[in-house]
């Protein structure tokens, strides 16, 4: 296994700011190109069914402009499958969505709908997309992901990140243990393991140190930091935190 830990930069919240006023500014594609120049290994964008941030035209624009991989996050709906098949992203990450949630609250239920998801991902795989499932660090969900033939899982780091942010150290340690076990278990089943959601300069280190993990996807925190230090510097500092923990 190569030990390179990739950084995927999620640009959803550039679109959140744009949509607050309508119009075209700030442009998520411009942010993605800047992230690419700053050393991002991939760009992640979540086309929510309600289009609250990323829009269809952003996906097309990202696909046309980027030379690094595009990770297209989406709900497992017929509409999104059609868009993914039209836009040919490098990767498709299936995410559970609820209209009323502020952000993704939990992991995709894979074990309970394995046959449905196996049929859903088949055309995406046939079209050459690397299919990833955004799941909780739960052995049943991980095993089911491997069984249905998804090559990649992304473990939801939200509970870990929240516990860190709120200073709930016992919860943080328990969540880190779950992510550690989930990453090792996924890797042992031959899955490529990614982790994402809510990670910051403080919380990224223990996750970056997990050698079973190949990619981190980080967005909201980086876009906030970019307001203060600029996007290239915000990304460079995240890269530095990751490399320091990985060494
Ligand atoms: C799947 C995931 O955790 C995020 O990448 C996702 O994009 C979160 O959704 P919002 O960006 O809408 O918070
Ligand atoms: N899949 C997680 C992701 O892309 C970024 O999540 P966040 O850092 O915006 O919470």
pLDDT digits (tens, 9 = 90+) for 152-199: 999 999 999 999 999 999 999 999 999 999 999 999 999 999 999 999
Q: Which domain holds residue 59?
A: 6-246
Asked whether residue 1 is domain-assigned, the answer is no
User: Does residue 117 lie within any of the structural domains?
Assistant: yes
Identify whether 99 is part of a domain.
yes
* pLDDT-based confidence at residue 1 (cuts at 50, 70, 90): very low
Annotation says 197 is catalytic = yes
Residue 211 annotated as part of some ligand binding site? no
> Computed from CA positions of residues 9, 178, 184, 155, in that sequence, does the dihedral angle turn out positive or negative?
negative
Dist. CA 198 → ligand 2 center (Å): 6
Q: Where are the alpha helices (DSSP H) in the chain?
A: 12-21, 28-37, 56-65, 78-87, 114-126, 139-147, 158-165, 169-188, 204-208, 220-229, 231-246
| Residue 223: per-residue pLDDT | 98
158 assigned to some structural domain: yes
- Number of domains the chain is built from: 1
Tell me, what's the pLDDT at 100?
Answer: 86
Residue 95: inside a domain, yes or no?
yes
ipTM tops the 0.85 cut = yes
Distance 40 CA to ligand 2 centre (A): 14
Query: How is residue 9 written in tokens?
Result: 């930069």
**pLDDT attached to residue 99:** 83
Percent of the chain with pLDDT over 90: 94
129 part of a folded domain? yes
CATH code where residue 127 lies: 3.20.20.70
Put simply, whether the predicted model's pTM sits higher than 0.95 gets the answer yes
In a domain, 93, yes or no: yes
pLDDT in the model for residue 113: 97
CA of residue 25 relative to chain centroid, distance: 24
Judge whether 215 counts as a catalytic residue: no
Average pLDDT for the chain: 97
- Known catalytic residue at 194: no
What was the pLDDT predicted at 165?
97
């Amino acid at each position: 296994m190569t030990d390179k830990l990739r950084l995927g930069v999620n640009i959803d919240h550039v679109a959140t700011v744009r949509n607050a006023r309508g119009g075209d500014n700030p442009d998520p594609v411009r942010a993605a190109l800047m992230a690419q120049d700053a050393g991002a290994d991939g760009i992640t964008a979540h086309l929510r069914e309600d289009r609250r941030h990323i829009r269809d035209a952003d996906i097309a624009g990202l696909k046309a402009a980027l030379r690094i991989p595009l990770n297209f996050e989406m709900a497992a709906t017929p509409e999104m499958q059609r868009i993914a098949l039209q836009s040919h992203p490098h990767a498709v990450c299936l995410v559970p969505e609820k209209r009323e949630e502020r952000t993704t609250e939990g992991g995709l239920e894979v074990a309970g709908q394995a046959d449905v998801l196996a049929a859903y991902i088949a055309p995406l795989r046939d079209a050459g997309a690397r299919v990833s499932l955004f799941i909780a660090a739960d052995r049943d969900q991980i095993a089911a992901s491997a069984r249905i033939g998804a090559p990649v899982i992304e473990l939801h780091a939200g509970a870990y990140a929240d516990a860190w942010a709120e200073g709930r150290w016992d919860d943080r340690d328990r969540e880190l243990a779950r992510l550690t076990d989930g990453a090792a278990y996924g890797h042992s089943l031959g899955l490529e393991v990614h982790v994402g959601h809510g990670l910051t300069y403080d919380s990224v280190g223990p996750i970056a140190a997990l050698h079973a993990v190949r990619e981190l996807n980080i967005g909201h925190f980086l876009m906030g930091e970019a307001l203060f230090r600029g996007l290239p510097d915000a990304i460079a500092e995240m890269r530095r935190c990751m490399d320091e923990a990985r060494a």
